[in-house]
């Protein structure tokens, strides 16, 4: 498992100490190459409009590049704003979003199967 993390925002993102590599390996496998990018509203909105047709910034976007490679983009400003609505701390919600994005990279779509798979990982890593 290879994961690179890039922060394209001006702020500090509290991802240190989160089990991101272990989560990615558990969900995606040992041979997966993952890029995690923290982005602001402008880039989030541009990607969301281009790939999903939605003209607004979003909390997370996932892009599968091939069977063993993908990218996750997280907008930390939106994540921080949404965390309390989900009864989570900011840091916990970042991890929650990461789990969600990883399952999309695995090819899963929203629904009960994805929900159960995410819950299993959340429980395993106490998220």
Residue 30 belongs to a domain with what CATH number?
Answer: 3.40.390.30
Percent of the chain with pLDDT strictly greater than 70: 100
| Nearest-angstrom CA–CA distance, 29 and 41 | 30
pLDDT, the chain, mean: 97
CA distances from 23 to 67, 94, 97, 123 (A): 17, 12, 12, 11
Query: What is the span of the domain harbouring residue 20?
Result: 2-124
**Average pLDDT, integer, range 63-82:** 97
Total domains in the chain come to 1
**Average pLDDT, integer, range 10-33:** 95
Contact 95, 125 (CB under 8 A): yes
The per-residue pLDDT for 10 is 93
**pTM, rounded to two decimals:** 0.95
Confidence class for position 110, pLDDT limits 50, 70, 90:
very high
The per-residue pLDDT for 113 is 96
Q: Compute the radius of gyration of the chain from its Cα atoms.
A: 14
Contact 65, 71 (CB under 8 A): yes
């Amino acid at each position: 498992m290879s994961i690179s993390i890039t922060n394209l925002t001006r702020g500090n993102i509290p991802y240190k100490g989160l089990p991101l590599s272990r989560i990615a390996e558990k969900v995606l496998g040992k041979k997966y190459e993952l890029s995690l990018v923290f982005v602001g509203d402008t880039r989030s909105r541009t990607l969301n409009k281009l790939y999903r047709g939605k003209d607004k910034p979003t909390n997370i976007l996932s892009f599968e590049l091939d069977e063993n490679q993908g990218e996750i983009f997280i907008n930390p400003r939106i994540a921080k704003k949404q965390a309390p609505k989900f009864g989570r701390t900011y840091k916990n919600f970042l991890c929650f979003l990461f789990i969600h994005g990883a399952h999309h990279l695995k090819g899963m779509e929203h629904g009960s199967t994805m929900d159960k798979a995410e819950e299993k990982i959340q429980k395993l890593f106490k998220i």
